[in-house]
Amino acid sequence: MTRSDRRPDLWLHQQAMPFWIGRAQDPQHGGFVDRLSAGGEPYVEDPKTTLVQARMLFTCAHARLNGGGSECVDGAETALAFLTDHLRDPVDGGFFRAVGRDGDPAAPGANRVKDAYDHSFVLLGLAAWLRLGASDAAQTMLEETFAWFHGTLFDPATGGYHEDDRVTRPSEPYPLPRRQNPHMHLFEALLALYEATGEARWLDHSRRILGVFEAHFFDADTGSLREFLDRDLGEAPPPAGRIREPGHQFEWVWLLHRYAALSGDRRFDPHAAVLYRFGWNHGTHRGGRLGGGVYDEIDPSGAPMAVSMLLWPQTEGIKAHLARAESAGDREGMTRARQLSALMFKNHIAADRPIWRNQIDLDGRTLQPDAPTRLLYHVAMAIIEGQRLGAWTPQ
């Protein structure tokens, strides 16, 4: 399949998933490595992280549910086994951020912090695994994970969650800045758990996160999304507090429309429309070879702060365009999604193998050549959303 005739869903299921499951897997110690080189070679001596194992658990299970091959089940089992055997704390609960290649918690680069962002992805991965085939062990792991997460990191003063478990240690400084990002992915996981189980409690928790979104993350004056926050979830001091990431704007657009579809509650459709408009008007490039590409950072006025282009914001732009086409009847959404997908394949993804450059500049030059394994989650999600809506079928 050449660059010019590449169909995203076929590329994902026939090439990308088998490649990453095979190449990023550690046959000696289990689990998945954090990254591959530009030549596709694994960095086998890097620590292994909860984030990568959790994302691979989700991505493999989600791909299998949407047309992926049997290797996806093997990949999900590999990720789950490493999470369970090496990253989970069997004494106090929760998951450590990183361990050595062989699971050694004292290896160089190992990290005993238990992070809210990581746990959101563990929950998301378990939701997809339950959809693939419910088991008592997976259900138990889900209950224990959420109980630890909510019991340890919930902040009753704001309704949100602390960044990590250092809040339980008085001798440690409070982890700042706080971020909207762990809450966004928890919201994603809660919706996935509701879809997987039909249990209303997950939808109830998702509504609580929406309350935090509306009160603290959504900047109604500009129509933008606050990224970094202070102790009380007010906007963090500059420069961090001024950062707006178009990729996250678009990710919330997709999630708000997904919430409406699952719950029937359309109260947040106007928020999605405002976020989308701000992201499209200010966060995407106009003209040239990267026209329609999504910037890394802008400020609340829409002025660019970092016009480089990471891979993941492109995938979130695709999802937002698709969501607007499906849920809001935006006739341009499907066209924009196809155009951005073509741009992503032309500029970020190699022509000869299913691997990516993490970041490029506006001239298309490589800024970050390594291919993080965690990005397979973003790429697969965008492509499967387009597959669901028929975006990749011949016109």
Average pLDDT over residues 13-32: 98
Confidence of residue 331 (pLDDT cuts 50, 70, 90): confident
* Closest alpha carbon to 158 in 136, 133, 178, 184: 178
Picking from 209, 314, 297, the residue whose alpha carbon sits closest to that of residue 256 is 209
Whether residue 90 is predicted with pLDDT greater than 60 in this model: the reply is yes
81 phi-psi bin (left φ>0, alpha ψ -120 to 50, beta other) = alpha
Look up residue 194 and give its two tokens.
Answer: 């509701």
Q: Which amino acid is at 232?
A: D
**How confident is the model over 130-155, as a mean pLDDT?**
96
* Residue 161 reports pLDDT greater than 60: yes
User: Token pair for residue 76?
Assistant: 């999900």
13: CB partners within 8 A, 6+ apart: 63, 67, 68, 69
Q: How confident is the model at residue 5 (pLDDT cuts 50, 70, 90)?
A: low
Average pLDDT over residues 187-216: 98
Averaged pLDDT for residues 351-359: 95
Answer whether 385's CB lies under 8 Å from 319's CB: yes
Mean per-residue pLDDT, 323-329: 95
pLDDT at residue number 395: 76
Structure confidence at residue 4 as a pLDDT band (50, 70, 90) = very low
Over 60: is that where the pLDDT of 158 sits? Answer: yes
pLDDT value at position 134? 80
What is the reported pTM?
0.98
Cis ω for the linkage preceding 177 (within 30 of 0): yes
> What topology does CATH give the domain 8-388?
Glycosyltransferase (1.50.10)
